[in-house]
Amino acid sequence: MTEEKKSLNFIEHIIEEDLKEGMSSDSLRFRFPPEPNGYLHIGHTKAIGISFGLGLRYNAPVNLRFDDTNPAKEEQEYVDAIKEDIAWLGYQWDKECYSSDYFQQLYDWTVLLIKEGKAYVDSQSAEAIAEQKGTTTEPGTDSPFRDRSVEENLSLFQKMKDGEFDEGAHVVRAKIDMADPNMLMRDPLMYRILKKTHHRTGDDWCIYPMYDWTHGESDYIENISHSLCSLEFKPHRKLYDWFLDQIYSSNIRPKQREFARLNLSYTIMSKRKLLRLVQEGIVSGWDDPRMPTISGLRRRGYTPNSIRKFVDTVGVAKRENVIDVSLLEFCVREDLNKTASRVMAVLDPVKLVITNYPKDQEEWLTAENNPEDETAGSRQVPFSGELYIEREDFKEEAGRKFFRLTLGKEVRLKNAYIIKGEGVVKDENGKITEIHCTYDPKSKSGSGTEESKRNVKGTLHWVTVKHAIPAEIRIYDRLFNHEAPDSDKDKDFVEFINSDSLKIITGYVEPSLKTGKLLEQFQFQRLGYFNMDSDSTAENLVFNKTVGLRDTWAKVKPVQEQHKSQKPQQNNKQAVIPAIEEVKRAGKKYTNLPDEKRIVLKNKIQEAANNVTIEELEPLYGTAVKKVGTRIATMIALGIVLKNNKLKPNQEAKDFINKALEDKNELLQLEAKELASTYSL
């Protein structure tokens, strides 16, 4: 066991207490028990991280057990995908187990329970059994078959096993208590007839054990010390223990404990609903980069480290909550910033001609691969007199706060020279087809000349026309435009599909990417993080956008919905805080938080801003310079208010934004730059 001094979560406290009370550390064993009826998704990573994390903390083995008791929905494809995902996340399991390995033992134990009068064969329909269950306030009704003789039950159970009955003709139920306040204890099902081929046992069985009967007994067989489940299984704990009581002898007795599962905003976590997205062709498959599956995240460019960091940041809790998806995006952005190679790509190209650069000349310039990693080295990129730059990086006429290329203004080409805008060529519709400029041949980056040290505010990325490689660029956004797409009882969750979740464009990338590897991650400088999709070939490069360089996805709710959510309850005497005050309060602590908490606070500011008017914000434009947090919160709120009301910044707002652009605080600068870019200030 490690001597790590960090604070313990409640599960670790349980384990520590068990060790203090005499449990040997050698007896600790955990398991992750997925059902192979779909691909693992981001919600599963919490359960994976908890079980395998405990294994690492206590140097204890962790089993990977497939709860494969329903051949109607389970497939070998899912088994293989689950194993691949867990291994990719960086975890190693001790034993690979299957509940189907225990079918004979479970059958034998059921025979024993029938002989002891603790189980019986019920010949009613599922509807009749459900009607007899009772309610939470009324006891259930005994089945008319509850008092069948042991001999008749054994005979029927044997015939069920031998395939003599059709599906639904009979079930086996535990005989517990039809008046138990916990309805799961009211003679729960143990076996049903399913004449389906099992992916491992074939047609050896036509009766299959129910999950509640299988779960605890499988834990017991495998000597699992702590059986960790999500909160929806808490009511099942009493039944879990009752079943163990019937067969327990001398092995380690498993202890079931529950934790809050991982819920993520703008995301569906139901495997059944995810399967529907696949079957209806809404996505291209389980590994579609818009899917929250681990395979989808992997294909989109997420890293194992980022997902593990996300799970660790979320922590282990006893109460359900919803984690904002921006935290997951922050974790991958932070990880890729450290590891991804910087390259140049142009996604919306316009041709740039350097008129005084020698014709037919080309040179190779040195470019740093990753300033965050000294060991990443450098590469050579070709340069010539004809380039592509981003169309948005040029304006014929621009204000003094536009730090990119315009006529008569100098900017630097990344890793290259300082250029000056001189003129444009337009087509018959007035669209710019070429930008003409001149360059200073003595201003080459890294040359050490006085000209190269000149301070120009703008730096542009580029690729040479001659060497640029066309590539398919897939721009992904969130699959749903509703924070909780499956929460509306009156609407089908697919109604909240974001129609702009995928845009495919053709861009140009630098030639070094020709040797990129499938799924390798890159930072397209000034654009975001991308990875090479598995569809890529030598002749057709395909890149997926993983995440932008910063969070620009504003979480905006309809104003009327926000008003409704903030309406005080009749018996709630606590005053509702005005939205503008929420913005001010958030600003006071904004700069004192770590990045992950700041992201959450930013989302709260954006939510509050839905109820803020432009008139309420205007007095905050003059906030003192030292109160930078309030100014940042005001800038964030201003973006939401302008967007919600389809407004453009008035002169006071423009002055506020322009002043922030010159501020020393980088967080304020970033928020101001976003607004300046949006409204072309």
CATH of the domain at 336: 1.10.1160.10
**Residues 6 or more apart from 53 whose CB is under 8 A from it?**
none
pLDDT digits over 104-132, tens only?
999 999 999 999 999 999 999 999 999 99
Question: Do strands 207-209 and 386-390 pair parallel, antiparallel, or not at all (unpaired)?
Answer: unpaired
Does pLDDT of 566 surpass 70? no
Does pLDDT of 459 surpass 90? yes
Question: For residue 673, is it within any domain?
Answer: yes
Does pLDDT of 573 surpass 60? no
The full 3-state SS of 76-107, as one line of letters, equals: HHHHHHHHHHHHHCCCCCCCEEEHHHHHHHHH
Among 391, 409, 394, 387, smallest CA distance to 457 is for 409
Amino acid at 113: L
Q: Domain ends where: 399, 427, 460?
A: 460
pLDDT digits over 136-145, tens only?
899 999 999 9
pTM confidence score:
0.79
The whole-angstrom separation of Cα 510 and Cα 531 is 14
Q: Which two tokens stand for residue 430?
A: 């007035």
Residues 33, 127 within the same domain: no
261 has catalytic annotation = yes
Which residues on neighbouring strands pair with residue 228, listed in sequence order?
257
Q: Which positions make up the binding site for L-glutamine?
A: 67, 211
Question: For residue 455, is it within any domain?
Answer: yes
Query: How many separate domains does the chain show?
Result: 5
Q: What pLDDT is recorded for position 50?
A: 96
Does pLDDT of 384 surpass 50? yes
Q: Which two tokens stand for residue 66?
A: 């497939």
Q: What percent of the chain has pLDDT over 70?
A: 95
pLDDT digits over 395-428, tens only?
998 887 888 999 999 999 999 999 999 999 999 9
Q: What pLDDT is recorded for position 564?
A: 39
Q: What pLDDT is recorded for position 304?
A: 97
pLDDT digits over 335-370, tens only?
999 999 999 999 999 999 999 999 989 999 999 999
CATH of the domain at 54: 3.40.50.620
Question: For residue 94, is it within any domain?
Answer: yes
The whole-angstrom separation of Cα 225 and Cα 252 is 6
Does pLDDT of 570 surpass 50? no
Quote the Cα angle for 588-591-593, to 5°: 100
271 has catalytic annotation = yes
Residues 608, 647 within the same domain: yes
What average pLDDT does this structure show over 640-659?
Answer: 87
Question: For residue 4, is it within any domain?
Answer: no
Burial of 239: CB neighbours in 10 Å, binned 0-12, 13-18, 19+: buried
CATH of the domain at 117: 3.90.800.10
Question: For residue 1, is it within any domain?
Answer: no
Does pLDDT of 201 surpass 70? yes
Residues 91, 216 within the same domain: yes
Residues 124, 216 within the same domain: no
Q: Which positions make up the binding site?
A: 35-37, 67, 211, 261-262, 269-271
pLDDT digits over 217-256, tens only?
999 999 999 999 999 999 999 999 999 999 998 778 999 9
pLDDT band at 574 (very low <50, low <70, confident <90, very high): very low
Q: Which two tokens stand for residue 363?
A: 């040179």
Q: Out of 29, 173, 261, 299, which one is annotated catalytic?
A: 261
Q: Out of 35, 84, 368, 596, which one is annotated catalytic?
A: 35
Residues 146, 178 within the same domain: yes
Q: Out of 31, 271, 299, 545, which one is annotated catalytic?
A: 271
Residues 453, 365 within the same domain: yes
Residues 74, 178 within the same domain: no
Question: For residue 6, is it within any domain?
Answer: no
CATH of the domain at 454: 2.40.240.10
Q: What pLDDT is recorded for position 4?
A: 44
192 has catalytic annotation = no
Residues 183, 254 within the same domain: no
Q: Which positions make up the binding site for ATP?
A: 35-37, 261-262, 269-271
Residues 245, 326 within the same domain: no
Q: Domain ends where: 395, 430, 460?
A: 460
Burial of 293-307, coded b for 16+ CB within 10 Å and e otherwise, reads: bbbbbbbbbbbbbbb
Q: What pLDDT is recorded for position 553?
A: 52
Q: What percent of the chain has pLDDT over 90?
A: 75
Calculate the average pLDDT of the chain.
91
Strands, E, within 41-175: which ranges? 62-66, 96-98, 119-122, 171-174
What domain range is 239 assigned to?
11-100+212-262
Question: For residue 529, is it within any domain?
Answer: yes
pLDDT band at 5 (very low <50, low <70, confident <90, very high): low
pLDDT digits over 486-538, tens only?
888 889 999 999 999 999 999 999 999 999 999 999 999 999 999 999 999 99
Residues 365, 447 within the same domain: yes
pLDDT digits over 25-38, tens only?
999 999 999 999 99
Q: What pLDDT is recorded for position 555?
A: 41
Residues 217, 173 within the same domain: no
pLDDT digits over 588-604, tens only?
888 888 776 788 888 88
Q: Which two tokens stand for residue 19?
A: 């060790």
Question: Do strands 432-439 and 349-354 pair parallel, antiparallel, or not at all (unpaired)?
Answer: parallel
Burial of 12-34, coded b for 16+ CB within 10 Å and e otherwise, reads: beebeebeeeebeeeebbbbbbb
Residues 61, 124 within the same domain: no
pLDDT digits over 603-635, tens only?
889 888 888 888 888 888 888 887 889 999 999
Q: Domain ends where: 400, 425, 460?
A: 460
Burial of 615: CB neighbours in 10 Å, binned 0-12, 13-18, 19+: exposed
Q: What pLDDT is recorded for position 597?
A: 76
Question: For residue 570, is it within any domain?
Answer: no
What average pLDDT does this structure show over 476-484?
Answer: 94
Q: Where are the alpha helices (DSSP H) in 261-340?
A: 271-279, 294-300, 304-314, 325-339
